[in-house]
Structure 1
Amino acid sequence: MRTGLPPALAALGAALLLSAVEAEGMECLTRAEADIMLLVDGSWSVGRANFRTVRSFISRIVEAFEIGPQRVQIGLAQYSGDPRTEWQLNAHRDKKSLLQAVANLPYKGGNTLTGLALNFIRQQNFKTQAGMRPRARKVGILITDGKSQDDVEAPSKKLKDEGVELFAVGIKNADEGELKMIATDPDDIHTYNVADFESLSTIVDDLTINLCNSVKGPGDLEAPSDLVISERTHRSFRVSWKPPSDSVDRYKVEYYPVSGGKRQEFSVNRLKTSTVLKDLEPEAEYVVNVYSMVEKEYSEPLKGTGKTSK
């Protein structure tokens, strides 16, 4: 289960964080095909103002992918009492068209029947006649702000049994146990829960990275292994890893404070298997991800944390 920053801090910096994420962004560089279906809660509890924030959140996810019939397709269904397809998987053949559709997404209103909506996308959207490609990876992303008024266990199990990898993003009044029940295991990759809509900006990068890894699938590139943190000072520490068995062009090292903050990254020569992170905050814990890279493609991350000394 991933959570956002504390509510007061998230609210204070939401606009700045969202603009920074949009400005920097990230790209999911892969030749893999994937069909991603977004299932968006449009019930009355969301509200029109918050629904605009949800649109921005979805746009940020879309921006990361190469959209097209030979790459990633993204469809969207909105639900409350009665779910409806806003556009099918193959409706938008390029990123510009898809982003325009997201910007124009209307707010529905109604009750929260998540189980009904999960059945709907299985029966109506994850179908070849609706644009699904048989060999593409299948991913579903639920975005909801409340507890469902119907059963979600059976509908989510049916989707997973049919090969759909499910992510669940909960906001404000979402039920944590229900999110975990819906999402694919493990929870720490597929389940997110934030205190308010403004805090969506604090999880968008992490969610997008995990989505990208799901789209690429296992085995595209072997990741480094055995992350070790050493030589800790109050402003730095060394990160070391073991190389993969296959050759790489370089490594990408990415790090950011566990408490929230700017994500930074740099490249490391393929002949090196360690580097020092400098200019860190004293007695602060950082998330560290190390990727193998070949040309513009990268592996799943080798994940860890490191903490500076006093």
Structure 2
Amino acid sequence: MKSFIGSLVYCLSLLLVDLCESYDFNNPSHILAQSYAQRRNHALPHRTLNPAATDSQCRSRPLDLVFIIDSSRSVRPGEFEKVKIFLADMVDTLDVGPDATRVAVVNYASTVKIEFLLKNHLTKDSIKQAINRIEPLAAGTMTGMAIKKAMDEAFIEKSGARPKSKNISKVAIIVTDGRPQDQVEEVSAAARASGIEIYAVGVDRADKQSLKLMASNPLEDHVFYVETYGVIEKLTSKFRETLCGMDACAMGHDCEHICVSSGSSFYCKCRKGYILNEDQKTCSLKHMDACEIGHSCQHICVSSDNSYHCKCRSGFVLNDDMRTCSIRGAGAYGHGNSVHEGDRNGEGSASEF
């Protein structure tokens, strides 16, 4: 028994020595941050909140996705590590690749730093390694400046964003726990007008009104709030539902011909040879026969480009109104255009009287 206890004490002492070598006990915040980092790097390298997130049947639609993360002084080191875990978990839920989703990260406080661009990392492992290397900037909260930098420098083709002709959704996810120290309303409106869909995630002390000013409509789908960084990872499944491959067209549409998904909404297109009607849903032939659309000819309508003219059957002449016909020789004055019966079936030619 004594031998067993002695062995146990020896093992515990070795473990304690290992812990002392791993952590700086003079800096408690460093201990907390490092513990999160080690958990991220070693214990759970492919960790996801929801096991279904890796379900191959649920593939996210292609996105140009930029995370804009607050690393101001109010975000403690351990909390910032939780933000990084959230970003990594989000990456796990996405279909990442050159022709799928591309990811960038903009880090901000009093200054703004683009950690990596959409073109820099095109695999999940590479993105998660880059996320793990991000360090907090630790100062003010210049959220408006961060949004503008993302719009001007991250969401551009030079940085890896796809051209508009590709119809790839541009999405920004802002994570903050404070009140912006600059104006966000105008720059957010400009970003949305440029085609960027904005989601605002507020944590703890975040100013809820500012979140609403930043986010896209409808606000109930684009504004999220959690009480602590400790539960931010729960949003992973929420975003997975939003960004999953069940696009707007798949959810149901009323297009007569073709539905085209665009962000969280859709628009209608027509097949070749058709044009979209004013209702933006139904389609009409691009070059419909003018006579088929409707005419006022008494006898025969003859299409001519986009218009028509009238003719009369054999034995009749066209009156001055160019629409009605009178019997030839009945005293009626007309233009004398008539056509044999066969012309109604395309078998004859017009005769001039």
CA deviation after TM superposition for structure 1 residue 31, in Å: 7.5
Q: Which amino acid aligns with 2:218?
A: P
Of 168, 176, 193 in structure 2, the residue corresponding to residue 144 of structure 1 is 176
1:104 & 1:94 partners in 2: Cα distance?
16
Of 71, 79, 103 in structure 2, the residue corresponding to residue 42 of structure 1 is 71
2:216 & 2:130 partners in 1: Cα distance?
28
Q: 1:31 to 1:190 in 2, by over 3 A?
A: closer
Q: Which amino acid aligns with 1:61?
A: M
1:205 & 1:31 partners in 2: Cα distance?
12
Kindly indicate whether residue 121 of structure 2 is the aligned counterpart of residue 121 of structure 1.
no
Kindly indicate whether residue 208 of structure 2 is the aligned counterpart of residue 176 of structure 1.
yes
Partner of 1:159: 191
TM score, norm. by length of structure 1 = 0.62
Partner of 1:206: 238
Partner of 1:188: 220
Partner of 2:24: none
Q: 1:33 to 1:203 in 2, by over 3 A?
A: closer
2:92 & 2:48 partners in 1: Cα distance?
14
Deviations 1:106-159 (A, max 9, x none): 222110010111111011111110110012210000000101011100010011
CA deviation after TM superposition for structure 1 residue 94, in Å: 0.9
CA deviation after TM superposition for structure 1 residue 41, in Å: 0.4
Kindly indicate whether residue 248 of structure 2 is the aligned counterpart of residue 218 of structure 1.
yes
1:156 & 1:70 partners in 2: Cα distance?
27
Partner of 2:88: 59
Of 10, 32, 53 in structure 2, the residue corresponding to residue 25 of structure 1 is 53
What residue ranges of structure 1 are gaps of 5+ in the alignment?
1-18, 225-244, 246-310
Contact 2:107 2:114 in 1 (8 A): yes
Partner of 1:68: 97
Q: 1:196 to 1:21 in 2, by over 3 A?
A: same
Deviations 1:204-247 (A, max 9, x none): 2112211336xx6421x2359xxxxxxxxxxxxxxxxxxxx9xx
Contact 2:60 2:243 in 1 (8 A): no
Q: 1:118 to 1:27 in 2, by over 3 A?
A: farther
TM score, norm. by length of structure 2 = 0.55
Contact 2:48 2:89 in 1 (8 A): no
Q: 1:26 to 1:185 in 2, by over 3 A?
A: farther
Q: Which amino acid aligns with 1:44?
A: R
CA deviation after TM superposition for structure 1 residue 27, in Å: 4.6
2:235 & 2:94 partners in 1: Cα distance?
17
CA deviation after TM superposition for structure 1 residue 33, in Å: 2.6
CA deviation after TM superposition for structure 1 residue 24, in Å: 4.8
> SS where residue 244 of structure 2 aligns?
helix
Partner of 1:285: none
Q: 1:204 to 1:90 in 2, by over 3 A?
A: same
The structure with the largest alpha-carbon Rg is 2
More helix as a share of residues = 2
Partner of 1:301: none
CA deviation after TM superposition for structure 1 residue 101, in Å: 1.1
Contact 1:22 1:60 in 2 (8 A): no
More strand as a share of residues = 1
What's the Cα RMSD here? 2.3
Q: Which amino acid aligns with 2:251?
A: E
2:120 & 2:215 partners in 1: Cα distance?
26
Contact 1:37 1:77 in 2 (8 A): yes
Contact 1:139 1:165 in 2 (8 A): yes
What residue ranges of structure 2 are gaps of 5+ in the alignment?
1-46, 257-353
Give aligned-pair identity as a percent: 26
Kindly indicate whether residue 128 of structure 2 is the aligned counterpart of residue 96 of structure 1.
no
Partner of 1:280: none
Partner of 2:13: none
> SS where residue 188 of structure 2 aligns?
helix
Contact 2:215 2:222 in 1 (8 A): yes
1:45 & 1:222 partners in 2: Cα distance?
41
2:48 & 2:63 partners in 1: Cα distance?
27
1:110 & 1:22 partners in 2: Cα distance?
34
Output aligned runs, 1:156-305, within 5 Å: 156-212=188-244, 217-219=247-249, 221-223=250-252
